[in-house]
Amino acid sequence: MPKDDSRIPIIDLFAGPGGLGEGFSRYPVGKKKKTFRIAVSIEKDLYAHRTLTLRAFFRQFPEGEVPKDYYDYLREKITREKLFDAYPEQAAAAVDEAQMRTLGGDSEITKIIGDKIKGHEKWILIGGPPCQAYSLAGRSRMLGLVKVKGESNEIFEARKAKKKEKFEEDHRHTLYKEYLKVISDHSPPIFVMENVKGILSAKLDDKPIFSQILSDLRDPNRALERIDVGLKYRIHSFVKPAGKKTDNPLDPRDYLIRAENYGIPQCRHRVILLGVRDDIDSSDLDVLKKTNSPSVRDVIGSLPKLFPGLSRGKEGEVYDALRAIFDHPDWYVFQTDPRFEDVADRMVFEFGKIRRDRNRGREFVSATTTHSDPWYVDPSIGGFSNHKTRSHIREDLWRYFYCACFAKVKASSPTLKEFPKFLLPKHKNVGDAIEGKKFGDRFRVQCSGRPSTTITSHISKDGHYFIHPDPRQFRSLTVREAARLQTFPDNYRFEGPRTQQYHQVGNAVPPLLASQIAEVVAKLLQD
């Protein structure tokens, strides 16, 4: 960076593909002069690190001055190596900024951070530890809380005890302590720490994890049993003022940010903490300002329309595979059932409007955009990256088509008890799901008229929870559509195999939300 660079350095730990850092680096939005810069981002995953490095390269150029070669790479006209070779200075800076390292297993990280913040009175630490051990679904899976059909109580309890022992030994419970060590070692003026909302109810050794984390973050040296020479921290909420008392009398739920209340087209609920060093006055701290959020239709409706692929079939057979639903022996029974007549009529109508000439897309789809939001749009691209559809089995094409038509008629996603029999999956627990016991929403269409449900890393496994609302596309979301719902700009390319791209998108903090968080932090530092 130039010696006269006045931007505030950001240290980004557990960076993932860089959603939190992207929001900080783009603040203030629309202005060429930015408040923050990423000094270093640390991530251990190979493909997320490749995404980070590419984005770091992009940021080496002033806004609006990114070279044509970058867009040629997005269009797959040149290789990544050729792009970096053409701009060696910027490529070297990007490699220095985005580092593939493992927190807790790399003694160099402390020195790297020290070098990056040297001479800076103001700097910010951001990031969050991996959250699998804190998520509600992850805890259920890891603790073996789901009883297998026919399993005796003794076997179930023995399996649960063994799982609990393994769960409590999981190192992911204490990865936040690596974050804590960085705070203790370097005393950042401000830190931002993110995690899933399951952390609010998680327990370890039958004790709440969250209250212990708050206590540790307020006094990192005491928590690490070090000599008490460092400064302490006040832990603030981004959505609720703490009031005048200094003991921060907030309820744990006050730290939860509901993204759909802040202009994000997604019902994503995450715990995000703001730590402010004791020697900094935070008595007049601002909080995030509520605003209406766009709908799924607003955000992804203008993207190129694509067909899905067909598992165990040929590209040209997708249309006929969907058409076969109307030849099913149970179609007439379904069509004349009063419960389903309106949905069946919609299915016939929508199928009649499907164009056979649609393709599956690819890593880059050439197209013009009618979307006008400058947060997303970059007119220099000429299309969309990461916009290729998955392949689905024929029966899932039917289910996706049915769900999207159901949502068109009912304005909601159907549960399994609202499925006709011939569309029900052949899973062992379908009976329980129909009775409302579990997994009744196994197939979930993202309704077009409101924000989406949470884009999670599970999207990397299958698309059942992420069905496109357009029946004429009868498929799950592409990586680009998921990225848009996560508010990543269109010039943000995700690297690696498609499964890894989905995983990166699902684990990220929405950059547009992070930009609003950056505004709160910037005003605090200015004051």
- Which of residues 277 and 105 earns the better pLDDT score? 277
Task: Round to whole Å and give the CA distance between 514 and 511.
Answer: 5
Q: How confident is the model at residue 428 (pLDDT cuts 50, 70, 90)?
A: low
Beta bridge partners of 256: 271
- Which of residues 442 and 68 earns the better pLDDT score? 68
Task: Round to whole Å and give the CA distance between 112 and 114.
Answer: 5
Task: Round to whole Å and give the CA distance between 238 and 517.
Answer: 7
**Which residues 6+ apart lie within 8 Å of 415 measured at CB?**
433, 436, 440, 441
**pLDDT score recorded for residue 104:** 82
**pLDDT score recorded for residue 108:** 94
Task: Round to whole Å and give the CA distance between 514 and 288.
Answer: 11
Query: Across the chain, which distance is largest between two alpha carbons, in Å?
Result: 77
Percent of the chain with pLDDT over 70: 88
Q: How confident is the model at residue 396 (pLDDT cuts 50, 70, 90)?
A: very high
The CA-atom distances, in angstroms, between 419 and each of 350, 404, 424, 427, 434 are 18, 12, 6, 14, 9
**pLDDT score recorded for residue 335:** 94
Quick one: which H or E segment has residue 332? helix 331-336
Q: How confident is the model at residue 437 (pLDDT cuts 50, 70, 90)?
A: low
DSSP 149: T
**pLDDT score recorded for residue 143:** 55
- Which of residues 106 and 109 earns the better pLDDT score? 109
Task: Round to whole Å and give the CA distance between 270 and 437.
Answer: 26
Is 294 a residue whose pLDDT tops 90?
yes
End-to-end CA separation in angstroms for the chain: 26
Average pLDDT over residues 343-349: 97
Residue 86 backbone class (left: φ over 0; alpha: ψ -120 to 50; beta: rest): alpha
Domain boundaries, the chain: 8-129+178-292+510-526, 134-169, 296-507
Q: How confident is the model at residue 157 (pLDDT cuts 50, 70, 90)?
A: confident
Is 79 a residue whose pLDDT tops 90?
yes
Q: How confident is the model at residue 526 (pLDDT cuts 50, 70, 90)?
A: confident
- Find out if CATH 3.40.50.1100 is the number for domain 8-129+178-292+510-526: no
**pLDDT score recorded for residue 59:** 97
CA atoms within 13 A on the CB side of 527: 13
Q: Which of 182, 180, 193 is nearest to 220 (CA)?
A: 180
Helices and strands (H, E) in the chain, number of each type? 20, 14
Task: Round to whole Å and give the CA distance between 80 and 83.
Answer: 5
Q: How confident is the model at residue 138 (pLDDT cuts 50, 70, 90)?
A: low
Q: What is the CA radius of gyration of the chain?
A: 25
Per-residue pLDDT tens digits for 298-340? 999 999 999 999 998 877 899 999 999 999 999 999 999 999 9
Is 158 a residue whose pLDDT tops 90?
no
Q: Which of 8, 518, 509 is nearest to 269 (CA)?
A: 509
Contact 402, 473 (CB under 8 A): no
Window from 60-74, 120-134, 341-355, 386-400 with minimum mean pLDDT: 120-134
- Which of residues 428 and 519 earns the better pLDDT score? 519
Q: How confident is the model at residue 516 (pLDDT cuts 50, 70, 90)?
A: very high
Q: Which of 100, 81, 99, 101 is nearest to 91 (CA)?
A: 81
Q: How confident is the model at residue 164 (pLDDT cuts 50, 70, 90)?
A: low
- Which of residues 327 and 202 earns the better pLDDT score? 327
Contact 381, 74 (CB under 8 A): yes
Choose the most confident range, by mean pLDDT, from 199-203, 304-308, 356-360. 304-308
Contact 282, 248 (CB under 8 A): no
Per-residue pLDDT tens digits for 166-188? 555 555 556 788 899 999 999 99
Structure tokens at 297: 């239709």
Rounded to the nearest 10 degrees, the angle between the axes of helix 88-97 and helix 46-58 is 130
Task: Indicate the average pLDDT of the chain.
Answer: 90
Structure tokens at 466: 């992420």
The CA-atom distances, in angstroms, between 483 and each of 101, 174, 470 are 25, 29, 18
Per-residue pLDDT tens digits for 369-383? 888 899 999 999 999
- pTM above the 0.75 mark? yes
Q: How confident is the model at residue 159 (pLDDT cuts 50, 70, 90)?
A: confident
Q: Which amino acid is present at 71?
A: Y
